[in-house]
Amino acid sequence: EVQLVESGGGLVQPGRSLRLSCTASGFAFGDYAMSWFRQAPGKGLEWVGFIRSKAYGGTTEYAASVKGRFTVSRDDSKSIAYLQMNSLKTEDTAVYYCTKEGCSGGRCYSNCWGQGTLVTVSS
Amino acid sequence: DIVMTQSPDSLAVSLGERATINCKSSQSVLNSSNNKNYLAWYQQKPGQPPKLLIYWASTRESGVPDRFSGGGSGTDFTLTISSLQAEDVAVYYCQQYYATPYTFGQGTKLEIK
């Protein structure tokens, strides 16, 4: 069974940092691109960024709202994707979802979603 | 950025009846090199993550009931539920993955009439 489990969320003050982890199982993690999305309370879905598989260079792309502050990375030996979030703002408050894309090189649908982890940015 | 607009914002349909949700993109999401529309539909129930229903505009994800179907091409797309069941109550989102940033429609809340 394909499974994604996010961890690392919590309450953090504005300007501080937080790192989210996404532990994957049930599929060949290294073969797929991985994405992060977020959903503010009562709002719609927003793409945050993704990382391609190593076969496609392991390169990353980001939404403009997080570019320069957030970094997506991956450890294929541990089947974990990370979202490093720096200089957090109150508007970053959301449930963050890790997803497996259906392709290796990005530009793809997300066919498996984690349960999400809540990040609250507040003083 | 590609803007995705869904209609209606909410929809109430009787059990067993057809439900249709529309999605329009501000530019074409059809890749002429492979003739694929980079459009997906997701279902989100309260307190749960989104679930993929349809990708490439019309390919049903494994395990999704065949009452769900997707259609359209270019800039205009539809999600149809042929016979509404109680468990289909949810918010439905379309998403384009033709270009980054990936973008979603605002969501359509589907309820039972």
Per-residue pLDDT of chain B (113 residues; tens, 9 = 90+): 999 999 999 999 999 999 999 999 999 999 999 999 999 999 999 999 999 999 999 999 999 999 999 999 999 999 999 999 999 999 999 999 999 999 999 999 999 99
- pLDDT mean over A44-65: 97
Q: Using an 8 Å Cβ cutoff, are A20 and A86 in contact?
A: no
Query: Percent of chain A having pLDDT more than 90?
Result: 96
Task: Provide the pLDDT for residue A33.
Answer: 96
Q: Using an 8 Å Cβ cutoff, are A4 and A112 in contact?
A: yes
pLDDT confidence band for A74 (50 / 70 / 90): very high
Cα angle: A46, vertex A51, A52; to 5 degrees: 125
The CB-side HSE value for B48 (13 A sphere, CA atoms) comes to 13
Compute CA distances A78 → A104, A111, B108, whole Å. 18, 21, 38
Task: Provide the pLDDT for residue B84.
Answer: 98
Report the C-alpha gap between A35 and B28 in whole angstroms: 23
- pLDDT mean over A51-57: 96
The CB-side HSE value for A8 (13 A sphere, CA atoms) comes to 18
Task: Provide the pLDDT for residue A75.
Answer: 98
Task: Please answer yes or no on whether A107 and B97 come within 8 Å at the CB atom.
Answer: yes
- pLDDT mean over A49-73: 97
Residue to test with chain B: of A34, A110, A117, A118, most B Cβ within 10 A = A110
pLDDT confidence band for A104 (50 / 70 / 90): confident
Task: Please answer yes or no on whether A111 and B95 come within 8 Å at the CB atom.
Answer: no
Is pLDDT at A111 greater than 90 in this prediction?
yes
> Rounded mean pLDDT of chain A?
97
Q: State the DSSP string of A4-69.
A: EEEE--EEE-TT--EEEEEEEESS-GGGS-EEEEEE-TT--EEEEEEE--GGGTT-EEE-TTTBTT
Is pLDDT at A66 greater than 90 in this prediction?
yes
Nearest-CA distance B62 → chain A (Å): 10
Task: Provide the pLDDT for residue A106.
Answer: 83
A117 interfaces chain B, CB cutoff of 8 Å: no
A chain contacts of residue B97, beta-carbon cutoff 8 Å: 107-109
Is pLDDT at A105 greater than 90 in this prediction?
no
| End-to-end Cα distance, chain B | 36
